[in-house]
Structure 1
C-alpha cells in the first residue's frame, strides 16, 4: 500500500510573488526538481512567516523585498506529511537586477519574467492560480501597522504613575520578536503613546533601524478622544502615500477601537503585543492581516 501523507503536523514555509514595473514577476528554477516557481522556503524554528518570506526571497534571489498584501496559502502533500506555504505580494526595496546572480546547488536560475510568459513557464497549477490572484493585488500599497503594546505589569501590582508602568519580561521578549516582523513591511515611521509600556514595545525596533520614536499624546489613555485619534490616523495615512514607507502606531487597548474606527475597520480586540497590518493604496484599505509575533 502506498504511503499516505500524515496530516498531523504540516511543514511550514513562506514566500512571495514579487513584481516589478513592466508587469514582470520574479521566478526561480530549482535544478533538483527541474521546476519554475516562486521563491519560498521553510520557516526556521520560532520564526514568523512574514520574516521567513523576506529572508527566503533574499537567500534564493539576492533581492531584498518588503511585503505587500497577503495571498492565499497553499497546502499540498510533501513526502510523508503536508506542507503549508504562506505567501505575500512582494516588492523589491532597492536594486532589482538579478544579472549578477550566481547559480547554486539549490537555485539554478533566477529570472524576471513577463506575467503572460510566467503563466506558461510555471510548473505547478497551484502557482499559476496564485499568480492570477496576485495580479489583482500587485499595485503598490503601503502598510500602517496598528500595534497594541506588549504585555505590561498588571495595574493592580503597580503603585506608581500608570504612564510609567513597564513591560513584564514576557512583554520585553514580545518587543524583540516584533523587530523582524515590522521590518518585513518596511516600517520607517514610529508613532507611539508616550506611556512607558508603549515606548518599550517599539524601542528595540527603533534602535535596530536607527529611527526616532514620535511621541503622540493624543493616543494615550488619558488624552484620547474620537476626533483627536482620527486626526492622528488621517495624518499617518496621508504620510504613507507621500513617503512610500510603512508606519506603526502603538497604543493601548481602550484607544484601539478609536484607531480602527478612523480606518473604517471593526475592532478585532487585539491581545497584548498583537498587531494588525493595514495595507493602504491612495488612502484606501485594500487588505488587512493580524499577527501575534510570539
Structure 2
C-alpha cells in the first residue's frame, strides 16, 4: 500500500454564492454539526467546475453560475489530504431556499448576511475563503475563449480546410465541454464558421437550446483585427456569459481585443482548452484556464 503522503489528494469543489443584499449561502451538515459552503467530491472524470455547480444544486436546490475563482483549500482528512476547488457564484433565476427539504446530509440551508457569516462558519479555512470571496463578490459575467477540440491533421486532409472535422477524441472533448460551459452560463455562443469549431460547441447548443452564432470573421481564412475586436467588445459589454470558439492563429487577435497581451504573456491553448475571462462593466477582473479531456 502506498504511503499516505504519496496518495493523490481527494478532490472536491464548491461555491461561495452571493446574492444582492450582501448575503452568502451556507449549509449545515448534521453528521458533523458544522456550517460551511456547499461542496462535494468530484465524480469520476468530472471537471471541478461542473462538480461545483452540481454540488450546489444537490445540496441547496439552487442553480448557480460561476464567477471568479478562489484559492484552493487543502487540509488532511483521515490518512489523505483533501483539495477543495472554490469559485464565487451567483444564482441563476430563483434564489428562494424556503422550500428546501432537510435530509440526512444537509438539514439547513440559509442566506446569511456577509457580516455575520464568519461567526457562523465552523472552520478557519472557510473563514479565510470567505475573506477572499468578499474581495471579488461583485457581479461579473464570463467570456470563455475556447480553442476548438482535437481535429483531423491538416497534412492528411485533402479538402477545403474549413471543412476539416474533429477526430473522435475531439468529439469526446466536445461532449465533456457541455457541463463546463454551462457552469459559466455561457448563453451567447459565437463560433468560427469552420466545421471543427462548430462541432466543438454543437453538443452544448443542442443540450441548452442556445442559438449558435457562426462568424466567418473568426475563421483562420477570414479573421481581421477590426472584425475580431468588434465581436469581442460586443460580448464583453453585453453583461451575459458567452463563449467564443476559434483557432490557434486567431487567438492572439482575441487576446489583443480583450487587452490580455498588454498585461500578461500570451496563453498558448491546447485543442479543447479554454481561457475564462471574468468581466465587470467591460473590465477584466479575473482570468482562469481549463482543459477538458481527452
Under TM normalisation by the shorter chain, which class is it?
Answer: over 0.9
The corresponding residue for 1:55 is: 54
The corresponding residue for 2:19 is: 20
Measure the CA separation in 1 of the matches of 2:227 and 2:211.
Answer: 22
> Does the C-alpha gap of structure 1 residues 28 and 5 become closer, same or farther in structure 2, counting only changes over 3 Å?
farther
Q: Is 2:260 aligned against 1:261?
A: no
Measure the CA separation in 2 of the matches of 1:7 and 1:37.
Answer: 28
Measure the CA separation in 1 of the matches of 2:55 and 2:182.
Answer: 14
Q: Which runs of 4+ in 1 moved over 4 A?
A: none
1:212: Cα distance to partner? 2.0
The corresponding residue for 1:169 is: 168
Measure the CA separation in 2 of the matches of 1:136 and 1:181.
Answer: 24
1:7: Cα distance to partner? 4.6
The corresponding residue for 2:225 is: 226
Measure the CA separation in 2 of the matches of 1:102 and 1:149.
Answer: 42
Measure the CA separation in 2 of the matches of 1:28 and 1:223.
Answer: 50
Measure the CA separation in 2 of the matches of 1:5 and 1:253.
Answer: 41
Describe the SS at the equivalent of 2:155.
helix
What is the aligned residue count?
A: 287
TM, length-normalised to structure 1: 0.96
The corresponding residue for 1:213 is: 212
Describe the SS at the equivalent of 1:6.
helix
The corresponding residue for 1:110 is: 109
TM, length-normalised to structure 2: 0.96
The corresponding residue for 1:288 is: 287
The gaps in structure 1 that reach 5 residues or longer are none
The corresponding residue for 2:192 is: 193
Measure the CA separation in 1 of the matches of 2:58 and 2:4.
Answer: 29
Describe the SS at the equivalent of 1:182.
helix
The corresponding residue for 2:8 is: 9
Measure the CA separation in 2 of the matches of 1:135 and 1:269.
Answer: 31
The corresponding residue for 1:84 is: 83
Measure the CA separation in 2 of the matches of 1:156 and 1:38.
Answer: 50
1:228: Cα distance to partner? 1.8
Measure the CA separation in 2 of the matches of 1:177 and 1:260.
Answer: 25
- Please, what is the CA RMSD of the aligned residues? 1.0
The corresponding residue for 1:126 is: 125
CA contact (8 A) 1:7 1:82 kept: no
Between 210-219 and 275-284, report the one with greater CA deviation: 210-219
Describe the SS at the equivalent of 2:90.
strand
Q: CA offsets, 1:253-294, max 9 Å, x none?
A: 000011011111132010001001100000000001111111
